[in-house]
Amino acid sequence: MTHIQRPITTEPRTGLSREELWDGPDKGLIKCWEVGRDRAQRFPELAQRCLAGELPVLGWKGGVSRSLKKSAKFGCLKYLAQWQGLRGEDLDIDLAEERTLTCSNTSMIVTFTPDRAKYVNQEPA
């Protein structure tokens, strides 16, 4: 399974173990997307910021709170999944590809990558 997709109309899953949620073939992306959908209900202002193209700081690497000296950075696919959920979008992530977005608030360019080594030890700018 390299392309993870779920329609926004899909009901949230229930009764799954931690291993099923985080260690399955989707690598936890479905759970991150479900959390994003839930947060959109509880924090409509955050959802609006995401819909406006912002990449706010969330629980995963990828968000930006201000412009940095370097104009580009890497983020993880779990951030992208949660962001899609916050925006009320279908989950649509290819585990083999990078995806680049530009934050509408800071103009920072973030490349979401399946390559953990690219975002784990980034130099702070």
What does the pLDDT average to over 87-98? 96
What does the pLDDT average to over 79-108? 96
Q: Phi-psi bin for 70: left (phi > 0), alpha (psi -120 to 50), beta?
A: beta
State phi, psi for 3 to the nearest 5 degrees.
-115, 115
Q: Are 53 and 43 in contact (CB under 8 A)?
A: no
Dihedral sign for Cα 84, 86, 90, 91, please.
Answer: positive
pTM of the model: 0.92
pLDDT of res. 120: 83
* Each residue's pLDDT tens digit, 18-57: 999 999 999 999 999 999 999 999 999 999 999 999 999 9
Domain chopping of the chain, boundaries: 3-120
Q: Round to whole Å and give the CA distance between 18 and 93.
A: 21
pLDDT of res. 66: 80
